[in-house]
Amino acid sequence: MLEIDDLWVNIDDKEVLKGINLRVPVGETHILFGKNGSGKSSLLMTIMGFERFAVKQGRISFLGQDITQLPIYERARLGLGLSFQRPPTIRGVKTADVLRVCSRGAIVPEVLAAAYDFTQFLDREINYGFSGGELKRSELLQLLAQNPKMALLDEPESGVDMENLQVVGAIIAKLLQKERRPQAREKSGLIITHTGFIMDYVNADKGYILLEGRLLCSGNPRDILQDIKRFGYEECTRCRR
């Protein structure tokens, strides 16, 4: 589904990604760990095509098509979807309208919201004054409306309370077709998490640690998380290198 080869990315003059190679096959979900500031969000934003992230070298392809130069909305229309770590507020634009936009008119926001306890936010300006957990739910519902082939989730569970974690988990499970047999899954995911809580709700096939713009190791995501907890990032990247 997603193939990244030798990707080098700058923000202004700062190198944030240094030779990333990554493959996420159809139906698989991969997990990205890494210290604060290591470049995880930058990687997702680059895959989505944000202008600030200048690709200096390398190639991103999605569904067999080179998308490295495509504008954001064309990537979205091809089937890439991103839930933001820190989404912006847009004054005056109603959440319901954004949900409608995401689905290109295919869903009824009221119905979607009712299913995930989100009705009271429909009339509010998108993300304006939303609490941390509310922002995450808003992001994920937008993705659900968008129904992407591949979901890029940037810390979808951070700041979410235990009860809402269930809601968030359910949305992500739906996005990634967890209810299907692994071979029958058509959707892929790339998820950033610090806590790993989200792995209870998805089938995480593979994990990585990103350190200073480099993907340093890969393996079973639960094992990696264990090691990070036990030995810390420095030690962990050294041993798994």
Partner 1 sequence: MPEIKQRAELGRKKKATFGRDLNLEEFSRQGGAWEYDPDYRQFSPEERSRLLATGIELTDEDHAGTFLLADKAIVHCQTRQPGVEVLPITEAASRHDWVKDLLWGLVAVDADKYTAAAELDLDNGYFIRALPGAQISQPVESCLYLRTDRFAQHIHNLVVVEEGASLHIITGCATHPGVISGLHVGVSEFYVKKGGRLTFTMVHNWGKEVHVRPRTAVMVEEGGTYVSNYILLRPVKSVQMYPTVTLNGEGAVARMQSIVIAHPGSELDIGGRVILKAPHTRAEIIARTLALGGVSIARGHLVGLAPDIKAHLECRGLILGNGVVYAMPELEGRVVGVDMSHEAAVGKIAAEEVEYLMARGLDEDEAVSTIVRGFLNVKIEGLPPALEEEMEQAIQESGKGL
Distance in Å, CB of 106 to partner 1, minimum: 11
Taking the complex as a whole, the smallest distance from the CB of residue 97 to partner 1 amounts, in Å, to 8
123 lies in the site for partner 1, by CB under 8 A: no
From the list Mg ion, ligand ATP, partner 1, none, pick the one residue 193 interacts with, judged by a Cβ distance below 5 to 8 Å according to partner type.
none
Residue 189 and residue 150 in contact, taking contact as beta carbons nearer than 8 Å: yes
Is position 104 an interface residue for partner 1 (rule: CB under 8 A)? yes
Does 42 engage in binding with Mg ion (CB under 5 A)? no
Binding residue (CB under 8 A) for partner 1 from 142, 188, 193, 237? 142
Can you tell me the distance from the alpha carbon of 11 to that of 16, in angstroms, rounded to the nearest whole number? Answer: 7
Pick between residue 42 and residue 127 the one whose CB is nearest to ligand ATP: 42
Q: Is 193 in the site for Mg ion (CB under 5 A)?
A: no
Q: Residue 87 binds what, of ligand ATP, partner 1, Mg ion, none (CB under 5 to 8 Å, by partner type)? A: partner 1
Q: Which residues bind ligand ATP (CB under 6 A)?
A: 11-12, 14, 16, 34, 36-42, 85
